[in-house]
Amino acid sequence: MINEQQNLSDAGQKMHLLNLELEDLEKWVQSIGQPKFRGKQIYQWLYVERVTEFDAMTNLPQKLRDQLKETAVIYTMREVTRQVSTDGTIKWLWELYDGSTIETVLMRHDYGNSVCVSSQVGCRMGCTFCASTLGGLVRNLTGGEVVEQLLNVQRFLDEEEERVSSVVLMGSGEPMENYDEVMKFVDIINDQNGLKIGARHITISTSGLVPAIRRLADEKRQITMAISLHATRDDIRSALMPINRRWGIDELLETCRYYIRQTGRRISFEYALVGGQNDDLAHARELAGLLTNIDCHVNLIPVNYVPERNYTRTPKDQIRAFVNELNRLGVNATVRREKGHDIAAACGQLRAEQGRS
């Protein structure tokens, strides 16, 4: 992991090796005059041994290691700050080579370690309950920059002899707007020559980009799809999520049905409970009606406090009543267990705080 003293200035000028799938890495080493098998050796050093310096790749000739130093980089970001919650959740703020900042979160569960990565610097979806959108979209991340976040956390876990169990793309950004780079990330971490994270242990969350969901459905990937629904009526959802003005609830849900038919995979619907807006029993009944005959799970999320927003959290007894009503009506629903509530763990909060300081 790059420390604060290391210089990032040349990272954007050299080949970022974490941005290459194995086949591409093999082709790249051939392009610099090396035999193809060196690509697989480098790949194993990156993902199995998880080295951070070329000199650590001891089965490579010194001449090749020197060549790599001149033409390539492994890590392109440095840690700006780290927050640790009393529940074990850790949130990192990274500075990229161009001065942009992104966040990554490690969440510890009974069933393993989950890592939430960012796919964009900022976000332009404009969801009013999310801190990620406050500064708009700066740029997409490359697949390698998303991979680097995960490797940084895995190297941290290596010190505890633990590993990443699952990955969620729910951090800053709309993953489906950065589709090609996100799928590159998925393919790299899924590769059996490297991190070997199973497709069903990878979750992509989207605010509802219908064409991208259909594209993913047609590719029949076995990743988990999470849809940010958050409302039962178009007027409410459009107020919370401007994307609904482009693709309304009916079209989104029909696309979800298509996804299920194509992949055979159940969908997860995320529903942020916003006090006084979408959280009474009438909304629960409407939600159950919308999801009739859709193979799904509803993940209820008490809205996070964001200083720039004026939303209130739904009282705990009302949350219990909401989930009980969904269950009574045959909808599989649970309340997300909150992680990192005592730190800036919501998407974009730490980055926003850094910007205000």
pLDDT band at 4 (very low <50, low <70, confident <90, very high): very low
- pLDDT tens-place string over residues 249-263: 999 999 999 999 999
Q: What is the pLDDT of residue 309?
A: 61
Percentage of the chain exceeding pLDDT 70: 90
Q: What is the pLDDT of residue 198?
A: 97
Parallel, antiparallel, or unpaired for β 224-228 and 77-84? Answer: unpaired
Q: In one letter, which amino acid is 301?
A: I
Q: What is the pLDDT of residue 342?
A: 67
Catalytic entry in 26, 103, 145, 325: 103
- For 177, phi then psi, to 5°, come to -80, -20
Contacts of 215 (CB under 8 A, 6+ apart): 179
- pLDDT tens-place string over residues 61-71: 999 999 999 99
Q: What is the pLDDT of residue 3?
A: 45
Domain 15-73 falls in which CATH fold? DNA polymerase; domain 1 (1.10.150)
CA distance 228 to 302: 13
347 given a catalytic annotation: yes
> Which segments of 191-307 does DSSP mark as H helices, in order?
210-219, 234-240, 249-263, 281-290
Question: Between residues 135 and 114, which one has the greater pLDDT?
Answer: 114
80-356: same fold as 15-73? no
Which sequence spans correspond to the domains of the chain? Answer: 15-73, 80-356
On the question of pLDDT at 349 being above 70, the answer is: no
Q: What is the pLDDT of residue 171?
A: 80
Catalytic entry in 127, 130, 256, 347: 347
On the question of pLDDT at 245 being above 60, the answer is: yes
- pLDDT tens-place string over residues 215-229: 999 999 999 999 999
On the question of pLDDT at 346 being above 60, the answer is: no
CA 227 from chain centre, in angstroms, equals 13
116 given a catalytic annotation: no
pLDDT band at 12 (very low <50, low <70, confident <90, very high): confident
Q: In one letter, which amino acid is 157?
A: L
Of the candidate CATH numbers 3.40.309.10, 3.20.20.70, 3.30.365.10, 1.20.1260.10, the domain formed by 80-356 belongs to 3.20.20.70
- Distances from the Cα of 35 to the Cαs of 38, 40, 45, 55, 258, in angstroms? 6, 10, 16, 19, 45
